[in-house]
Each structure stands twice: as C-alpha cells, then as structure tokens.
A and B are shown apart, each in its own frame.
Chain A
Amino acid sequence: MTRFRANIPSSEITPESLYMSRRQWMKWAAVGAAGATLAACAPGSSSAGSSAPAATPVKGTVIPGQTDELGNKLNSLADITHYNNYYEFTTSKEDVAPMSTGFSTDGWQVEVGGLVNKPGKFSVDELIKKYSPEERIYRLRCVEAWSMVVPWMGFSLAKLLKDVEPQSGAQYVAFTTLQAPDRFPGQKDPSYPWPYSEGLRLDEAMNDLAIFGTGLYGKPLPAQDGAPIRLVVPWKYGFKSIKAIVTIDLVAEMPKTMWSSIASNEYGFYANVNPQVDHPRWSQATERRIGELGRRPTLMFNGYAEQVASLYTKLDLRANY
C-alpha cells in the first residue's frame, strides 16, 4: 500500500503534554490564537510542527520534511485553518476562522440509522476511543481549482459502517451537517437548502481511503475544518467531504446532496476529481497548490486512481461528473 497510512500506529502516540517542548507549545499557542495575528496567516509561515527543531521525530506529529506519497510538501496549519469553504459560517474563505472561534462541539453526537441492523447514537469521543484515528496525509482538491496537502487524523468509514451492519438493501450512505442557524449564521441565508447534505455510494464509502476526519496535524479538528467529525474523501472534490456531521443514513436510493440540488449541471453526485471534465464555468485541468506560484496539472482521481478507479469501471465519468 502507499504511504497515505502513517507508519506509526496511533496507539503509540504519546500524549502531547509529554512530548511537546516548551518551545513547540509556544508555537502551537501562537497559531492557535486563531487569526489574531496576521503573521500566523502568512502563506509562507511554516507549520508549527514542521519547523520545530526536534532532534528526534515525535510520533504522531508531522516530521520535518514529511510529504504525501507523491513527495508533495504539507501545507502549513495556518493555511489549512485560514482558507476554508464553510458556508455555514460565511462564504468568505478567510473569515471562517475568526467566525468559528466560539463554536462548541461539546457532547456532539452522531446518529447512524437507516438500513442497518444496529442503528445508534454515538458520541464523537466514543467513536474516537473505539476507532483510534491514525494520520492520513491526503491531497485536498477543491472544485474551485485550488488544492492543499493535509495531514488528517481519522479512521476509515468502513470500520463504523461494518459495525452497524448495513442491510442488503443499503446502496448509498447519506450524511447531513448540524442544522443550527444560531451557531451557524450562514444557515440564515435562505437561498441554500440547509442543512448541508452529502452522499456516497456504499462501495465508495467502504473504500479504505474514505475516512472520518477528527483531527489535523495530530491535534483535534479545529472548528473551521469541520469539527468534531467530517468526511474526507480525497479522490473527490472537497465539497463532498461534508463537515460537522450529525446524521449518517444508509439508504437504497441515491440521496440528494446540497450542491447537486442547487446546481446539478455544475456539481454532480460523484464529483470525482477529473481533469478531463470541466466545471461549466472553469477548467479542472490544472490547479493552484496553495503556497505555490503557477499551476499544477490536476491528476485523475486526485492521484488516487490506483486505489479507486476500479469503483468506476462501469460508469461514464463524463455523464456522471
């Protein structure tokens, strides 16, 4: 298998308080002071973890010079936490970080139901304890033609789905985000059919690459990145990776998704990264990697063709964009 899987089992991850040097702590704190200083937003500012002068790489954190399996450098924590598409807060990518600072995820529960033998309501803490998240370094390709390389912490969807025992009629998995306009001011905009909803075919969801993201750079997931639990489906455009999930339903029919119900000609159900199929208004052939000049060619399935192309052998990808 490729290197998207961390070489270190998460069980070996030392609690951060034990390993973090005082200096590292101070850096984390500086970055954590969300957007308080513009310096923290500087695209050139390196991530706290990778710039630490640690002599021995610390388990579970990002090792200096660590890359994805294709040799791409990681984006900084500052970039990943200050450039977010999260319409529940605002449509401005830069303003999500300051607007989400007070977002509490205490006692968050996820309800798993539909065509399963063992439906249930699980607290995120419970899920994290049970499925012990591991580090997954994934490229994230936004439908807006920019991309980042992100060291997520997460666990495979398959683990949870197997445990709830899907029934034979279950063909798709539908996800929805929390509906709470008092906490998500963007949900007061009536031109969007809130709550955000997304879906996967069951076999897509069972692919090992598809994870629930619960952390970033070895730390709990920041609010602006979809805390406390989100989807990460790296071979699809970013909008498929729904944030702040509260319900997961196994269903027989292809579920409605928010973006495809707003503009089905622009955002399909599959939304696989595909340089050959353009968005009607812009090209998907190239992308800007955040932090770089110029453009990179976009890779088929975002570079994960080896792992996922077999899911789509019977599908016309031009018609099913």
Chain B
Amino acid sequence: MQRKKRRSYGWLQVCVHMAALLPLAWLTWQATQGALTANPIQAAEQRTGDTAITLLLLSLACTPLLTITQFAPFQRFRRPLGVYAFLYASIHFSLFVGLDYLFDFRAIWADTSGKRYIWVGLAAFVGLIPLAATSFTRMMRRMGKDWKRLHRVVYAVAVLAVIHFAWVVKGDLSRLQGDIARPALAVVVVALLLAARLPAVRKRLRRT
C-alpha cells in the first residue's frame, strides 16, 4: 500500500462534533420558539430518539467504512459518535421520565410495565451506560482486552434500539403498514453493519 503522510484531520473531528450537536441545538432553539408542534414533549422524545439511533448506527459504520476505504480518520469518529448517541439516549430517557411523566414513577409503572417496547428501549439505554462510562482513553488502557470484550455489548444495544424503534412507531413492519419506512431502514442498516463484522465478510471487504 502507498505510504501517505500522516495527517491529523483535526478539522474533520471538529465537524463530527458539530454535526452531532447540531440536532440538539436545533431542537433547543425550536423548543424555545414554541415550534415543536402542539405536542412538544412527544416531538422532543421522538427526535432525541431518532438522533440517538442515527448516531449509534453511524458509530457502528465507522469500522466497516475504515476497512473499505482505508481512510484512517474513520477510526477516530467511532468514539465521539458513540458517546453522543449516549447523550441523546440520556436526554430521550430523561424527557420521558421527567417531562412526560414528571417523575411519577407509579404512573410510569402502571403505563409501561406490560409494554415490550419500553423494556427493549430501557435495556438498550442501560447497555450503553457502561460503554459510556468506560469510553475514556485511561479506562481503555486499564481494561486492555476486557475493554474490547465489554464494548461488544454495543451490537446488542443496536439491535435492541432498532427493535424499540420498530415497535414504538405508529405502523406495523410485519404488515408493511403505517410509518415504517424509517424503522425498516434502520433494521436493514443494522443488519448490514452486523454482517460486516462476520469474519468472512470482513475479509472480503478488505480485499475490494
């Protein structure tokens, strides 16, 4: 392979941070302007959820993209994208508990205990917590091999998050009805990203 000068691509890194924060800035601005529909809590919940899933899938796309393109900076987008996915998931969760239900845990339990989409979503969020907590370079070094092992949880998180998305929208994937275009896309993307991790596929990606 051709030897290239090592470039840091710092500006690209800055772009990634800005792009990841933009949806939050836009959401906050719209909220202060009262422009979040007649049902602003639900709109904010949905949009933070959408962004969290998008960032999570983008984070997972970094490694296959690196394999395919050999463009080194992809490697360095993975972590910020993942951490921002956690940030949005945290806001999503907090809006639900804090603004939607005003911390009325009895009401939350009564409303959600039997609802599978809630449990799947909660599991995805809880799964992200240890990953975010160990996302610092120091932890990565200290944990060594365990770090890598722990962070494989992200694959399960991605699957759970996409199931949560598919179950919560007004529509039915199995009947191909309603608002299913986006969850269907998410299912396809997550399937492709997970397939890209299979050794056989990985080898082939590298060759092309």
Q: Which residues of chain A have a CB within 8 Å of any CB of chain B?
A: 38-39, 41-45, 75, 78-79, 82-83, 91, 93-94, 144, 146, 191-192, 262-263, 278, 281-283, 285-286, 288, 290-291, 293-295
Selected contact of A43 from candidates B40, B100, B110, B179, CB within 8 Å? B40
Considering the complex, give the chain A residue whose CB is closest to the CB of B115: A282
Question: Which residue on A lies nearest to B36, using beta carbons?
Answer: A43
CB interface residues, B 142-197, toward A, < 8 Å: 167, 170-172, 175-179
Stretch at the interface among B9-17, B101-109, B122-130: B101-109
> Which residues of chain B have C-beta atoms less than 8 A from A191's C-beta?
175-178
Partner of A290, one of B39, B107, B112: B39
Contacts of B104 in A (CB 8 A): 294-295
Taken residue by residue from 40 to 68, chain B's Cβ proximity to chain A (1 for < 8 Å, 0 otherwise) reads as 11100000000000000000000000000
> In the complex, A144 Cα to B172 Cα: how many Å?
15
Our count of residue pairs bridging A and B at CB distance below 8 angstroms stands at 86
Determine the distance from Cα of A183 to Cα of B22 in the docked complex, in whole angstroms.
37
What would be 11 A-B contacts, judged by CB atoms less than 8 Å apart? A41-B35, A41-B37, A41-B38, A91-B170, A91-B178, A144-B170, A191-B178, A192-B177, A278-B114, A286-B111, A288-B100
Q: Tell me whether A283 and B112 are in contact (CB under 8 A).
A: yes
A42-B33, A144-B170, A192-B177 known; A283 vs B39 contact (CB < 8 Å):
no
- Residues on A with C-beta less than 8 A from B177 are 191-192, 262
Contact A82 B37 (CB under 8 A): yes
Q: Please, which residue of chain A has its CB at the minimum distance from the CB of B178?
A: A91
Asked if B34 contacts A146 (CB within 8 A), the reply is no
Indicate if the CB atoms of B37 and A93 lie closer than 8 Å.
Answer: yes
Give the interface centre of B35, B37, B99, B110 by most chain A CB atoms within 10 Å: B37
CB distance from A9 to the nearest CB of B (A): 32
* Contact status of A286 and B115, CB under 8 A, knowing A38-B35, A41-B37, A91-B179: no
A39 touches B107 (CB 8 A): no
Evaluate contact between A78 and B38: CB separation under 8 angstroms.
yes
Contact A83 B39 (CB under 8 A): yes
The answer on a CB contact under 8 Å between B34 and A43 is yes
B38 close to A288 (CB less than 8 A): no
